């Protein structure tokens, strides 16, 4: 059954500096009382919409960089509204054994770490708060406390190329988080990245390349047993208005999965599915429909199994090179049709 997470946004709360791609427009409050009152307001609004929530999440800031007193107030606020199960996102520079023990003691079951990249040069250029080794240490610290670990990575960052993205995927794989989220980097107005883009210093990735990298990472993570729980940015109007450059597509995740299925079918494998999932096999805009001809085995109750599909793909010899090439080929074709843009 789906876990219903009540999201509470504490934008930039605790962040020690601004990463170059992060928008400052969303700053809502800095003082402890502003942060707590804004959090409470959001909880009340969400509870008015629905009383059915399983968990509360503090997102959008660096939770463990907040002063201890404020963290304790935010835990107490959630508990006061009946939430015993919590999660938060935070920055790797503020993850310690002490604050993870504190989190576990307050009902935090999942911590989401903003990894973004594990290439030191990319981290430096993007003004991230710590280096790759420190980030890896933070991921391992979360795991030591038996808290579920979610790693958020980006693609298309300032200074990133395929090689550095691939190294990031490898390093994240070596830590084995429970979940991964993959976000394409877009250029938001009022960010340092916007000035870098205006001056020509930063060139954002075309949609096809973004999709190819997302599909590549999806296949490697899923094949290794790591759930990819999100690919692509949230479809929020307020955020879309802020995008100056960078390929934003609301169906990035569906398109990346479509590419994985296309590669699998291209290897000659069949898909075993219940009839009701045929459209999932056909993929985004029916991209795989033709390839599916004669390749679908209908079986009652059989669900699409992206993990099994990705595992089969990695059985190919020199699979990384193969996936990179195939993902690039299908991504180009997928965005090539005017319907798919």
Among 74, 100, 114, 175, binds ligand SF4 (CB under 6 A): 114
Say if strands 5-9 and 86-90 run parallel, antiparallel, or are unpaired: unpaired
Closest by alpha carbon to 214, among 161, 259, 279? Answer: 259
Q: How far is the CB of 262 from ligand SF4 (least distance, A)?
A: 33
Give the footprint of ligand SF4 on residues 8-67 (CB under 6 A): 12, 15, 18-19, 22, 61-62
Residues contacting 194, CB < 8 A, separation 6+: 187, 188, 244
Q: How far is the CB of 269 from ligand SF4 (least distance, A)?
A: 39
Residue number with CB closer to ligand SF4 (61 or 283): 61
CA 272, 276, 281, 286 dihedral sign is: positive
Q: Are 138 and 95 in contact (CB under 8 A)?
A: yes
Binding mask 260-299 for ligand SF4 (x = CB under 6 A): ----------------------------------------
Residue number with CB closer to ligand SF4 (18 or 73): 18
Residue number with CB closer to ligand SF4 (58 or 264): 58
Residue number with CB closer to ligand SF4 (130 or 316): 130
Cβ-based burial of 10 (10 A; exposed 0-12, middle 13-18, buried ≥19): buried
Work out whether 117 is an interface residue with ligand SF4 (CB under 6 A). no
Q: How far is the CB of 114 from ligand SF4 (least distance, A)?
A: 5
Work out whether 111 is an interface residue with ligand SF4 (CB under 6 A). no
* Sequence-ordered alpha helix ranges (H) in 243-336: 252-266, 278-282, 289-292, 306-313, 319-336
Here the tokens at position 33 are 């009382």
Residue number with CB closer to ligand SF4 (90 or 210): 90
């Amino acid at each position: 059954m789906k876990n219903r997470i009540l999201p509470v946004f504490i934008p930039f709360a605790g962040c020690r500096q601004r990463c170059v791609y992060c928008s400052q427009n969303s700053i809502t409050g800095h003082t402890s009382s502003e942060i707590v009152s804004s959090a409470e307001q959001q909880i009340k609004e969400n509870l008015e919409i629905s009383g059915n929530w399983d968990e509360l999440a503090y997102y959008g800031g660096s939770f463990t960089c907040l002063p201890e007193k404020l963290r304790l107030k935010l835990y107490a606020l959630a508990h006061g509204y009946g939430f015993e199960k919590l999660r938060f996102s935070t920055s790797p520079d503020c993850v310690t054994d002490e604050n993870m023990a504190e989190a576990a003691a307050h009902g935090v079951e999942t911590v989401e770490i903003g990894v973004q990249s594990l290439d030191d040069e990319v981290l430096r250029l993007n003004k991230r708060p710590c280096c790759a080794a420190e980030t890896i240490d933070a991921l391992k610290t979360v795991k030591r406390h038996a808290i579920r670990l979610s790693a958020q990575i980006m693609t298309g960052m300032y200074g990133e190329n395929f090689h550095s993205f691939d190294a990031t995927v490898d390093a994240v794989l070596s830590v084995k988080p429970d979940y991964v989220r993959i976000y394409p980097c877009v250029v938001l107005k009022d960010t340092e990245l916007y000035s870098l883009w205006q001056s020509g210093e930063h060139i954002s990735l075309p949609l096809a390349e973004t999709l190819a990298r997302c599909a590549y990472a999806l296949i490697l993570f899923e094949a290794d047993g790591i759930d990819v729980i999100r690919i692509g940015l949230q479809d929020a109007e307020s955020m879309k208005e802020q995008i100056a450059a960078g390929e934003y597509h609301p169906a990035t995740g569906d398109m990346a999965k479509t590419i994985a299925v296309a590669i699998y079918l291209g290897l000659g494998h069949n898909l075993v599915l219940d009839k009701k999932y045929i459209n999932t096999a056909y993929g985004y805009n029916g991209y795989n429909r033709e390839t599916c001809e004669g390749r679908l085995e209908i079986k009652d109750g059989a669900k699409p199994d992206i993990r099994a599909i990705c595992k089969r793909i990695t059985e190919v010899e020199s699979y990384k090179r193969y996936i990179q090439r195939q993902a690039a080929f299908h991504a180009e074709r997928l965005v090539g049709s005017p319907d798919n843009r």
